[in-house]
Structure 1
Amino acid sequence: MTKRATLVVDLQNEYLQTGKLPLVGLEAALANAARVIAAARAKGELLIHVRHEGARPDAPVFTPGTAGVQIIPAVAAADGEPVIVKNYPNSFRGTQLKELLDAQGVKELVVIGAMSHMCIEATSRAAADFGYPVTVAHDACATMNLEFDGTAVPAAQVHAASMAALGFGYASVMSTDKLLA
């Protein structure tokens, strides 16, 4: 069996309703993420938690040293699970993630977290570019409403477009239920 790792990307307080970037559907995504995490732990699979921090100490969001950068307790790392701190949407950029995966002999990845249109896409695409087969549990991810050129784009459409793009050429995109079956 191929060695698999689960990347739990940016499920941080900044995305809660009390944070600076509240996401649509985050509670449901957290519940599914917790299920994916529990299943990976039960199988003894590697779990890697990724936490975003602004590159500057005065960053307007994900400000280092604030409560906003902390991982949400329901999906936080257990003792011994690595936490990678990143400054860019791509979890591989400027981090030791690739080296950690290689050192552990990981050959495939499951990706869950936030935001669908940013860090989930960037991380999944980079992983695929490195040759990892990637699975994204779409309902263990969340995003926000966006606007482009005067057009409001609801979070559900942002998420669907992101998952469609990933599924087209970068990842297998499936529900948590299907992943865990």
Structure 2
Amino acid sequence: MAKQALIVIDIQNDYFANGKWPLVGVEAAADNAARLIQAFRQQGRPVVHVRHEFTSDSAPFFTPGSEGAQLHAKVLNRAEEPVVLKHFVNSFRDTNLQSILEELQVDELVLVGNMSHMCVEGTARAAADLGYGVQVINDACATLDLEFKGQRVPAAQVHNAVMAALAFAYAQVLSTEEFLAA
């Protein structure tokens, strides 16, 4: 039987309304992530938090040591829950995430967090390539509007395109309700 860990990716203050890089739907996504954290804790399953900081004070958000780079109050880790500090999109790159998962003897990851099109997607693809089973909880992730070649791409379209691509070959994509009901 697979041993799952919940990976909570970059649910940090700068992504919320008063932060430097607010996302569309971040409050609802964080609420769903908090529900999943609670379920994992109640079942004694591991929860691993990932926190992004850029290495330069001139970064547009998540500047080193800033309040914006801290985990949001809705998803704070408990003392026994590791927090992985990363400086890149992929949560495995130059971090101790994989060694933590090996120590926990985890072979399946449940991903929630921000941004859908960046760190969630990058981590999901890397996890699948490393041989983990991957589930992404789509309504516990958020992103923002993007622009490409002068055209605005609404956050919902960005998010849906990423989830569709992940569901095609990298992950099982579920809602919070679907996951909790299983």
What's the TM-score once normalised by structure 2's chain length? 0.97
Q: Secondary structure at the match of 1:113?
A: strand
- Partners of 2:43 and 2:130 in 1: how far apart? 25
* Amino-acid identity (%): 55
Structure 2 unaligned blocks of 5 or more:
none
Structure-2 residue corresponding to 1:141:
141
Q: Which amino acid aligns with 2:41?
A: R
- Quote the Cα distance in structure 2 between the aligned partners of 1:177 and 1:59: 36
> Over residues 34-81 of structure 1, what are the superposed CA-to-partner deviations in whole Å (9 max), with x where a residue is unaligned?
111000001111100000000224433210111110100111101210
Deviations 1:99-152 (A, max 9, x none): 110111101000000000000000000000000010000000000000000110
Name the CA distance, whole Å, in 1 between partners of 2:121 and 2:37: 20
Q: Displacement, 1:170?
A: 0.3
Q: Distance in 1 between matches of 2:10 and 2:144?
A: 14
Q: Give the Cα–Cα distance (whole angstroms) in 2 for the partners of residues 144 and 59 of structure 1.
A: 18
- The answer for the alignment partner of 2:47 in structure 1 is 47
Structure 1 match to 2:26: 26
1:123-138 correspondence to structure 2 within 5 Å? 123-138=123-138
The alignment of Structure 1 onto Structure 2 pairs a total of residues equal to: 181
Corresponding residue number in structure 2 for 1:153? 153
How does the TM-score come out when normalised to structure 1?
0.98
Distance in 2 between residues matched to 1:65 and 1:171, nearest whole Å: 33
What amino acid does structure 1 have at the position aligned with 2:154? P
Structure 1 partner of 2:95: 95
1:11 is matched with 11
What root-mean-square deviation, in Å, do the aligned CA atoms of Structure 1 and Structure 2 show?
0.8
Q: Distance in 1 between matches of 2:39 and 2:74?
A: 14
